C-alpha cells in the first residue's frame, strides 16, 4: 500500500496555480488538487482514482486569510479553532473534527471538498478487486454500485465532513476560481447529489475562500455529531443549528445535516415551518421528527442507517438545547 | 483480543449470575462471595484448584469502589457492576507434543569465568517481560544482582525448546524451570565453597556476591572464588532445569480443556454512564483486583491489568468485524475497527492480590490473559444497573443498546427513554442467609488455606447437602470418585492427554 508516484506542482500564487492547471488541461492531462492531504493521500495509498499530476496549494499565502467573515480555503482547521475572532459555531465545529494532528494538517477548503466515503470504496486495491470494483472507482469496468445494486447511475457514498453544515447555517457563500474566471454561490448550492461528482467544481476549478454575511455574529448555534469515539472518527450523522433571537422569541432558524447522504443537507423548509409555529421547547420534538423524515442514509458506514436516522432527532434536540439555556 | 474463547463465555456466565441474583433478591456481590470454591479443592470437571484469592479480590473491589453505597442507588443512567473471572496459568497439556515424554519448559544456565550467569531459554519475549521474569528467578536463587544475569532468549539455534508465549504460561513454567536450573547451579557452587571453607552446604548462605557461614558472615569465600573452584573441579559450570505439570484431569471427554497447574482469579467493578437516548456507554472508572499468586514484577502486573482493561473495553463496547453480503470484511482498517482511544479509557485502579500458589515460582501465577475476563461482565452488569437493560449480545455498540432500549420502551408503553424506571434493589429474606453463608465460607477458606482443615471439599452445599457429612452418606445417587484413579493413570487410553496420541490418517488420491 504505497502512494503511487506522481508529479507534484507547487505554485506560489493563485495565478500560477491557474496557469499550471491551464497547461495541464491543454495537454489533456487529468490532475488532482492537494491542500492538507489528510484525505487525498490515504486515498492515493489505496490507489483510489489516482492521477499523474497533483497541484499543491500549500505555498499560496493569499488563500490563508482568516477574518471573522472571510475564511480562506487554505486556513488550517486548527487555526480556525484557535482563531479568537472566528465565529463560535465554526470554532466548535472545527474543534470536533478528527484529532489534533489531523486538524493541524487539514484545511477548511479540503474539509468542504472532502471525498465521499463508503465501506465498499475506501478499501485497499486488492479488497476492491475481490468485489470486482464499485461504481465510484470502477477501473473502467463499468462496475455497479455495491450498496444499492441495479439502481440508477448515482453514487451513494456518504459525505462525512463536519464544517459544511456549520457554514450553511451561517449562510456562507463559497467562492471558486478557475482558469476561465471566478464565480460565487451560496454554499448549499455548491453540492451536487452524487457521490462521485459531489459538487459543482469543474476540472481545474478550486475553492478560493468562503465568506460569511455581515450579520453572522448575530447568529448563535451548535453542532452535534454522532461518532463512536471522541477522536478520529468521521461523523456518522451531524446536525448544525443556528438561531437568531432567544427562547420563545425566535427571529431566525437554520438547520443543516451531514454524514447521512452524499451531500450535506440544508433544511430550509423544515426550519421555516418550525419558525412559523414556534412554541419554544414544545416545537423541538416535531422539528427533530421532520429532519429525521427528510434524511435518508444508506448502509455504507459503521452504524446502521436506521440508527443514524433515529439519532438525528436526538442530535437536533441537543444542538438546539443552548437556545433555552440563555 | 486476549484469552480467546474464555472471555465471551465467562461474560455470559457472569451476566447470568447477575440475572439470577436479581431474581432471588440478593446482592450480586454477596451471591458471589457465598459461592466461591475454597482453596485446595477439585471441581467437578477435574480442575485442581490450589490457591485462590477470589474472596480477597471481591472484598477489595467492594470496599474500594464503595459498592454498598452505590449499587442500585445511583441515578438513572449511571450504574455499577461486578464481574469475576479465572484463568489457567499455562495449559496443563502442551499443544505441541506428547506431555508424557517432554517437559513444557527448559532452561540452561552457564556460569562464565567472570562469575556472570548466562540464561538460555526458548521463552518468547513479546513485550510482556518474560526475560525479566526469568532473570529475576535466577538472581533470586543465586542471590546475584540482575546485572550479572544475561538472558539469551531470541536465539532458536542455541536455546532449548519452549512451548511459546500462549495460554499465560511463560512466567509460571519458564520461571519454574529457571529456578530448578538455578538450584542445580547453586548446589555446585555450595559444594565448591564446602571444599574451600570446610562448612557443610547446609550451614552456608549465598548473598552479596559471597558464600559465607551462616553464623559468622566473616567466614566465607567470594562468589568468584567459588565459581573458579567449581570450574576447576568439573571443567565447566553449567546447569539445566525443566518444568512439566503433574498428571491431572478427569477421564471424561473434553477433560483436557482448561487443565492447568494453577489458576489466577480476578474480580472487577466498573462504573458506567449510559446515555439512554443514544445508547452510548462510557466507562467512568474501573477497580481491578487480580490474584496473581505473587507479583514477581508488580509494575508489569499493574501494566498487564490496565492493558487488559483497554483490550476488554474494546471487546465489550466496540470492537467488531462487520461482514458484507458476499462475506467481505467491511472494516479491515483501524479507522472502522474501533479500538478504544485514550478518550474512552477510564481510570483503572489496579489492585494486586497475592495468594502465594504452592506450585508457582515463588508463589506466582499468571497475569496475562486472566485480568481481561472480568471487565466485560462488569461493564454489562453496570449497564443493567444504569438503565435496566440486560444485553445478550456483544459488543455493546450504541446501536445495539439503543435497539434494546427501544424494545423495552415499547413493551412498557413509554415514549421517552429517559422515563424508563431506574432499577432498584429490595433484599429478599434470602439475602441474610446468603450473607451468613458467605461469612461461614470465609472462615472455612481461611482454615483450608492454613491447612487446619484438610477434609475433601464437597461441591453440593447449595443443593441442600450438609457440608460436614460425606455426600455419599446423604444421597445414594452420589459416589465418591477420585479421578484419575490409580487404574486410570496406568491405562494410557484414559488419560486426558490421549487426544495427542491420536494418529492422523491421510489418504492420497480419491480413496
State residue B440's pLDDT score: 92
A115-145, pLDDT tens digit by residue? 999 999 999 999 999 988 988 888 788 888 8
pLDDT of residue B510: 56
What's the confidence (pLDDT) of residue A84?
Answer: 83
Contact B349, B39 (CB under 8 A): no
State residue B350's pLDDT score.
97
Q: B318 contacts in A (CB within 8 Å)?
A: 228-229
Interface with A, mutate which of B323, B399, B410, B418 (most A CBs under 10 A): B399
Asked whether residue B329 carries a pLDDT value surpassing 90, the answer given is: yes
Q: Which of B318, B336, B341 sits opposite A231 (nearest CB)?
A: B341
- Does the domain made of B6-89+260-419 have the CATH classification 3.30.1130.10? no
Cross-chain Cβ contact B399/A229 below 8 Å: no
Closest-CA distance of chain A to residue B51, Å: 40
A314: pLDDT confidence band, cut at 50, 70 and 90?
Answer: very high
Mean pLDDT of chain B: 89
Question: Could you say which of 3.30.390.30, 2.60.40.10, 3.30.365.10, 3.40.50.300 is the CATH number of the domain covering B105-243?
Answer: 3.30.365.10
- A1-57: CATH number: 3.30.43.10
For residues A264 and A93, give the distance between their C-alpha atoms in angstroms, rounded to a whole number. Answer: 14
Q: Has residue B464 got a pLDDT over 70?
A: no
User: Model confidence over A63-92: pLDDT tens digits?
Assistant: 999 999 999 999 999 999 998 889 999 999
Cα A6 from chain centre: 26
Cell of B418: 429517559
Cβ neighbours for A23, distance < 8 A, ≥ 6 positions apart: none
Point out the least confidently predicted range of A1-5, A189-193, B465-469.
B465-469
pLDDT of residue B511: 46
Segment B322-340 shows an average pLDDT of 91
Q: CA of A311 to nearest chain B CA: how many angstroms apart?
A: 7
Is pLDDT of B107 > 90? yes
Alpha-carbon distance values, A235 to A164, A229, A238, B490 (Å)? 12, 10, 6, 65
Structure confidence at residue B98 (pLDDT)? 65
CATH code matching the domain that covers A221-325, chosen among 2.60.120.10, 3.40.50.970, 3.40.50.300, 3.30.390.50: 3.30.390.50
Per-residue pLDDT at A304 exceeds 80: yes
The answer to whether the Cβ–Cβ distance between A233 and B344 falls below 8 Å is: no
Q: Where are the CATH 3.30.365.10 domain residues in chain B?
A: 6-89+260-419, 105-243
Residue B181 has pLDDT above 60, yes or no: yes
Q: What is the pLDDT of residue B246?
A: 79
pLDDT grade for A50, boundaries at 50, 70 and 90? very high
Query: What value does the mean pLDDT take over residues B75-100?
Result: 85
- pLDDT attached to residue B163: 83
pLDDT higher than 70, residue B348: yes
**Could you tell me the pLDDT band of residue A246, with boundaries at 50, 70 and 90?**
confident
State what percent of residues in chain B have pLDDT above 90. 70
Does the pLDDT of residue A226 top 90, yes or no?
yes
Task: Sort out which chain A residues have CB atoms less than 8 A from B277's CB and list them.
Answer: 314
Q: Contact B397/A120, CB-based, under 8 Å?
A: no
Of residues B428 and B44, which shows the higher confidence score?
Answer: B428
> What's residue B4's pLDDT?
83
In the prediction, which pLDDT does A287 show? 94
* Average confidence (pLDDT) over B336-359: 94
Mean pLDDT of chain A: 93
**Among A26, A39, A224, which residue's Cα sits nearest to residue A122?**
A39
- Check CB contact under 8 Å for A120 and B340: no
**What is the distance between the alpha carbons of residues A107 and A208, in angstroms, rounded to a whole number?**
12
The predicted pLDDT at position A124 comes to 92
Distance from CA of B343 to the nearest CA of A (A): 6
- pLDDT top residue among B500 and A294: A294
Contact B65, B269 (CB under 8 A): yes
Other CB atoms within 10 Å distance of the CB of residue A47: 17
Find, in chain A, the residue whose alpha carbon is nearest to that of B317. A228
pLDDT digits (tens, 9 = 90+) for B381-391: 999 999 999 99
What is the distance between the alpha carbons of residues B107 and B138, in angstroms, rounded to a whole number? 10
| Model confidence pLDDT, tens digit, residues B227-237 | 999 999 988 99
Identify whether the C-beta of residue B92 lies closer than 8 Å to the C-beta of residue B163: no
Cα of A309 vs its chain's centroid, Å: 19
Q: Per CB distance under 8 Å, which residues of A are interface residues toward B?
A: 119-120, 123-124, 127, 130-131, 146, 226, 228-234, 302-304, 307, 310-311, 314
CB–CB contact B340 A119 (8 Å):
no
Helix (H) or strand (E) holding A213: none
Q: What's the pLDDT at B458?
A: 59
Strand pairing partners for A158?
A: A117
Give me the sign of the Cα torsion angle B100, B106, B111, B116.
negative
* Predicted local confidence at residue B505, as pLDDT: 57
Query: Mutation test of the interface with chain A: which of B324, B325, B395, choosing the one with the most A Cβ atoms within 10 A?
Result: B324
The domain limits of chain A are 1-57, 221-325
User: Which one is predicted more confidently, B291 or B112?
Assistant: B291
Q: Is the distance from CB of A229 to CB of B340 less than 8 angstroms?
A: yes
Q: If you write DSSP's letter for every residue of A216-266 in order, what string do you get?
A: GGG-EEEEEEE-SSSSSPPPSEEEEEEEEEETTEEEEEEEEEESSSSS-EE
Does residue B46 or residue B65 have the better pLDDT? B65
What average pLDDT score do residues B125-129 get?
89
Amino acid at each position: 500500500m504505497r502512494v503511487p508516484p506522481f508529479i507534484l506542482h507547487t505554485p506560489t500564487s493563485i495565478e500560477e496555480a491557474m496557469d499550471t492547471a491551464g497547461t495541464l488541461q491543454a495537454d489533456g492531462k487529468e490532475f488532482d488538487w492537494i491542500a492538507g492531504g489528510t484525505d487525498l493521500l490515504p486515498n492515493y495509498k489505496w490507489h483510489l482514482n489516482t492521477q499523474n499530476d497533483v497541484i499543491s496549494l500549500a505555498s499560496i499565502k493569499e488563500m490563508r486569510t482568516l477574518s471573522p467573515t472571510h475564511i480562506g480555503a487554505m486556513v488550517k482547521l486548527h487555526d480556525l479553532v484557535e482563531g479568537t475572532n472566528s465565529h463560535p459555531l465554526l470554532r466548535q465545529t472545527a474543534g470536533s473534527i478528527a484529532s489534533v494532528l489531523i486538524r493541524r494538517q487539514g484545511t477548511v477548503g479540503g474539509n468542504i471538498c472532502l471525498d465521499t466515503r463508503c465501506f465498499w470504496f475506501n478499501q485497499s486495491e486488492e479488497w476492491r478487486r475481490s468485489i470486482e470494483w464499485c461504481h465510484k472507482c470502477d477501473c473502467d469496468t463499468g462496475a455497479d454500485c455495491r450498496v444499492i445494486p441495479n439502481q440508477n447511475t448515482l453514487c451513494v457514498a456518504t459525505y462525512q465532513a463536519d464544517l459544511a453544515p456549520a457554514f450553511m447555517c451561517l449562510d456562507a457563500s463559497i467562492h471558486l476560481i478557475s482558469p476561465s474566471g471566478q464565480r460565487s454561490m451560496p454554499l448549499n448550492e455548491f453540492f451536487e447529489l452524487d457521490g462521485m461528482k459531489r459538487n459543482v467544481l469543474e476540472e481545474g476549478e478550486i475553492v478560493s475562500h468562503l465568506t460569511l454575511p455581515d450579520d453572522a455574529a448575530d447568529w448563535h448555534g451548535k453542532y452535534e455529531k454522532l461518532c463512536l469515539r471522541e477522536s478520529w472518527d468521521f461523523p456518522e450523522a451531524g446536525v448544525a443549528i443556528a438561531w437568531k433571537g432567544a427562547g420563545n422569541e425566535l427571529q431566525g432558524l437554520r438547520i443543516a445535516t451531514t454524514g447521512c447522504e452524499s451531500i450535506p443537507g440544508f433544511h430550509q423548509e423544515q426550519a421555516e415551518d418550525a419558525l412559523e409555529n414556534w412554541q419554544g421547547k414544545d416545537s423541538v420534538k416535531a422539528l427533530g421528527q421532520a429532519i429525521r423524515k427528510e434524511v435518508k442514509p444508506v448502509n455504507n458506514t459503521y452504524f446502521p442507517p436506521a440508527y443514524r436516522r433515529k439519532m438525528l432527532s436526538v442530535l437536533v434536540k441537543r444542538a438546539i438545547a443552548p437556545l433555552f439555556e440563555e | 483480543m486476549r484469552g480467546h474463547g474464555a472471555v465471551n463465555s465467562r461474560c455470559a456466565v457472569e451476566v447470568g449470575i447477575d440475572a439470577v441474583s436479581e431474581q432471588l433478591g440478593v446482592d450480586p456481590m454477596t451471591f458471589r462471595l457465598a459461592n466461591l470454591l475454597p482453596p485446595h479443592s477439585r471441581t467437578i470437571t477435574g480442575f485442581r484448584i490450589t490457591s485462590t484469592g477470589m474472596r480477597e479480590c471481591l472484598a477489595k473491589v467492594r470496599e474500594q469502589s464503595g459498592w454498598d453505597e452505590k449499587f442500585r442507588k445511583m441515578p438513572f443512567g449511571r450504574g455499577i457492576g461486578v464481574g469475576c473471572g479465572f484463568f489457567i496459568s499455562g495449559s496443563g497439556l502442551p499443544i505441541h507434543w506428547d506431555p508424557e515424554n517432554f517437559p513444557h519448559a527448559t532452561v540452561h544456565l552457564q556460569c562464565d569465568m567472570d562469575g556472570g550467569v548466562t540464561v538460555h531459554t526458548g521463552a518468547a519475549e513479546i513485550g510482556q517481560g518474560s526475560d525479566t521474569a526469568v532473570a529475576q528467578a535466577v538472581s533470586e536463587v543465586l542471590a546475584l544482582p540482575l546485572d550479572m544475569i544475561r538472558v539469551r532468549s531470541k536465539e532458536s539455534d542455541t536455546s532449548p525448546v519452549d512451548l511459546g508465549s500462549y495460554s499465560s504460561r511463560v512466567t509460571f513454567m519458564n520461571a519454574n524451570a529457571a529456578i530448578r536450573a538455578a538450584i542445580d547451579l547453586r548446589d555446585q557452587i555450595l559444594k565448591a565453597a564446602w571444599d574451600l571453607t570446610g562448612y557443610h552446604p547446609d550451614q552456608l548462605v549465598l548473598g552479596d556476591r559471597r558464600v559465607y557461614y551462616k553464623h559468622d558472615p566473616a567466614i566465607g569465600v567470594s562468589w568468584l572464588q567459588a565459581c573458579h573452584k567449581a570450574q576447576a573441579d568439573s571443567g565447566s559450570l553449567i546447569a539445566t532445569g525443566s518444568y512439566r505439570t503433574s498428571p491431572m484431569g478427569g477421564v471424561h471427554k473434553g477433560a483436557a480443556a482448561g487443565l492447568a497447574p494453577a489458576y489466577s482469579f480476578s474480580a472487577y467493578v466498573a462504573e458506567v454512564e449510559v446515555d439512554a437516548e443514544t445508547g452510548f456507554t462510557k466507562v467512568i472508572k474501573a477497580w481491578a483486583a487480580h490474584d496473581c499468586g505473587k507479583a514477581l514484577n508488580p509494575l508489569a502486573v499493574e501494566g498487564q491489568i490496565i492493558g487488559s482493561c483497554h483490550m476488554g473495553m474494546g471487546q465489550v463496547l466496540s470492537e467488531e468485524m462487520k461482514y458484507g453480503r458476499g462475506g467481505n470484511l467491511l472494516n479491515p482498517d483501524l479507522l472502522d475497527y474501533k479500538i478504544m482511544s485514550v478518550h474512552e479509557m477510564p481510570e483503572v485502579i489496579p489492585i494486586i492480590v497475592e495468594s502465594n500458589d504452592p506450585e508457582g515460582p515463588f508463589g506466582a501465577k499468571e497475569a496475562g490473559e486472566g485480568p481481561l475476563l472480568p471487565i466485560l461482565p462488569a461493564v454489562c452488569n453496570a449497564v443493567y444497573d444504569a438503565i435496566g437493560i440486560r444485553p445478550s449480545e456483544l459488543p455493546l455498540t450504541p446501536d445495539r443498546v439503543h435497539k434494546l432500549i427501544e424494545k423495552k420502551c415499547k413493551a412498557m408503553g413509554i415514549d421517552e427513554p429517559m422515563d424508563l424506571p431506574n432499577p432498584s434493589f429490595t433484599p429478599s429474606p434470602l439475602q441474610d442467609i446468603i450473607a451468613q453463608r458467605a461469612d461461614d465460607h470465609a472462615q472455612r477458606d481461611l482454615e483450608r488455606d492454613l491447612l487446619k482443615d484438610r477434609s475433601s471439599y464437597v461441591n453440593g452445599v447449595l443443593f441442600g447437602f450438609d457440608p460436614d457429612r460425606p455426600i455419599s452418606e446423604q444421597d445414594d445417587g452420589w459416589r465418591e470418585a477420585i479421578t484419575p484413579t490409580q487404574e486410570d493413570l496406568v491405562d494410557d487410553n484414559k488419560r486426558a492427554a490421549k487426544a495427542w496420541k491420536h494418529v492422523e490418517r491421510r489418504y492420497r488420491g480419491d480413496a
